[in-house]
A and B are shown apart, each in its own frame.
Chain A
Amino acid sequence: MDFLNALVALSNFVLVPGIAYGSQLALGALGVTLIYGILRFSNFAHGDTMAFGTMVTILFTWWFQSLGISAGPLPTALLALPFGILATMALVVGTDRAVFRFYRQQKAKPVVFVMVSLGVMFMMNGLVRFIIGPGDQRFSDGERFIIKARTFKQMTGLDEGLAIKTSQGITVVTAIIVVAVLFWFLNKTRTGKSMRAYSDNEDLALLSGINPERVVMYTWLIVAVLATVAGTLYGLDKSFKPFTYFQLLLPIFAAAIVGGLGSPLGAIAGGFVIAMSEVIITYAWKKVAKYLLPESLEPDGLVQLLSTDYKFAVSFAILIVVLLFKPTGIFKGKAV
């Protein structure tokens, strides 16, 4: 019984939040890694692209709510999501035309691209704050829980409850769907294969008649979908605040690099590695230990390795270790 209780506590506080957060990071890291694979630079504006997409989704959500449109038990944001994606597509493709294309034609060094993406980040950040303000926004509605802790306790008779939020369920389901479609697209369609070919060997792709501008455009369109979905899921799960999205850059980059920059599979693995480590290291294990250890050994403290304020330090430490020992990441990315 104690063991079961410990397991439930572990799922409730570590596994479920970790998987949800990992899915969000994985989607974010996929966007970063795709840009890296095709355009060959680390896009610092990615966090703010996510913020922009989420913001548009929120605005549509509010509008729908005011019209009385809802998705029943599901959050209205799901209905607004396509509009957020469309707006983000327009934004990133427009940005590419206005900003990045020039440097592609110049064959600028990657570090110049990074710097330019910084400028783009500034502008998007300003735009988002200008429109929706810098504060916290909550926009989730519908049923809050799939399983409530109390219901779970009644069902199983255990002391520990397991709560699964709707947003967590939606996050995982959506992430699985998006990733499945993305991999189908990359591996089975002509356009997807041409993107992989371009990422693998740019010169040969040109020789094969693959149009780089088309590849780049498709990449941005996909990135817009990934960023908006990732941002909206994160916002539903936690809350939306422009600055938080900027800060997400660090775990997202860490996830992409841990998995191997340029490798989509790696981005997903990296997302979960980072999320799980973050949750495990900042979780206070007292509750789980209470069930597993005999009373005499029960710990006095919280048994928390690091306070949650240092969650970014976890991604950073993992990043540093990977850079030191395996800079190409788990899945052999393109970059050294």
Chain B
Amino acid sequence: MSEPFLIGENMTGGYGKGPDILHNCTIAVNPGEIAVIVGPNGAGKSTAMKAVFGMLTVRSGSVRLAGEDITQLSPQDRVVKGMGFVPQTSNIFASMTVEENLEMGAFIRTDDFSATLEQVYHLFPILRDKRNQAAGELSGGQRQQVAVGRALMTKPKVLMLDEPTAGVSPIVMDELFDRIIEVARTGLPILMVEQNAKQALEIADKGYVLVQGRNAYTGSGQDLLADPDVRKSFLGG
């Protein structure tokens, strides 16, 4: 098997000097794919993603992007390398307009980003309508679209979403998932942490089930949904 586009391999580590939360955990994603990290509460789902993004100390193992070892880089440097990250909370500039949020997403770019802005508006039409409104005044689902849009503005090579559907209604969740699939169809690899395991695995090309910071099950979304062990242990039968 060839090297995946983005891989966090055998990662062991924790926050700062604290105890290890991840143990020998491996997460990978390829272009055109949606990879989903699921698991019970406290399994280290978000932690695994933050490890890939460089927000915690990885004591052993490595993170590689397009074959390049980026384990030692800071999150900011990883953004420059082409990683787009959408945090779970406070992921927008609430006091700034939607368009300004998107512009700030493109801050590191020195080229003309109007085409990307157009793409984002195409993907999330509602944002075009509300582009001069303060992002903080939008609804929960719209805010998430702003957040994803902001991350897309860097023209990332990989997009990472930390629980994008946390706290939104089921209808909005479905809509968000549709958008995410649309983004993935453009060829952008997407790595996503999700609380709503069932729905997430349905759209996932690859699923990682973490339990206590370790890879418990790995497989395609459909395989995992069909796996009786996975179903029994946390999909609720």
Contacts and interface: CB of A to CB of B under 8 A. Distances in A.
A185 to B, nearest CB: 14
Nearest to B151: A207
Nearest to B80: A209
A197 B100 CA distance: 9
A296 to B, nearest CB: 56
B107 A208 contact: yes
A205 B154 CA distance: 13
B75 A207 contact: yes
Interface in B88-129: 90-96, 100, 103-105, 107-108
B77 to A, nearest CB: 9
B76 A204 contact: no
Contacts, number: 57
B87 to A, nearest CB: 7
Interface residues on B, range: 20 to 34
Contacts of A190: 103, 107
Contacts of A206: 75-76
A204 B95 contact: no
Interface in A195-216: 196-197, 200-201, 203-210
13 contacts: A190-B103, A194-B104, A196-B95, A197-B93, A200-B94, A200-B95, A201-B93, A207-B85, A207-B87, A208-B104, A208-B105, A208-B107, A210-B107
B79 interface: yes
Contacts of B75: 206-207
B150 interface: yes
A326 interface: no
A164 B10 CA distance: 76
A194 B104 CA distance: 7
B29 to A, nearest CB: 19
Contacts of B87: 203-204, 207
Nearest to B150: A208
A210 B93 CA distance: 13
Contacts of B76: 206-207, 209
A196 B103 CA distance: 12
Interface of B: 75-76, 79-80, 85, 87, 90-96, 100, 103-105, 107-108, 150, 154
Contact of A194 (B95, B107, B150): B107
B90 A204 contact: yes
A205 B104 contact: yes
A204 B108 contact: no
A193 B103 CA distance: 9
B90 A208 contact: no
A331 to B, nearest CB: 11
A210 B90 contact: no
Contacts of A210: 104, 107
A201 B85 CA distance: 15
B94 A201 contact: yes
A183 to B, nearest CB: 14
A177 B74 CA distance: 41
A201 B108 contact: no
B93 A196 contact: yes
Contacts of A194: 104, 107
Contacts of A197: 93, 96, 100, 104, 107
A210 B91 CA distance: 15
A5 B37 CA distance: 77
B79 A207 contact: yes
B110 to A, nearest CB: 11
A197 B107 CA distance: 11
- Of the listed residues B75, B92, B96, B104, the one surrounded by the most CB atoms of chain A closer than 10 A to its CB is B104
A209 B108 contact: yes
Nearest to B136: A200
A201 B150 contact: no
Contacts of B92: 201, 204
B113 to A, nearest CB: 11
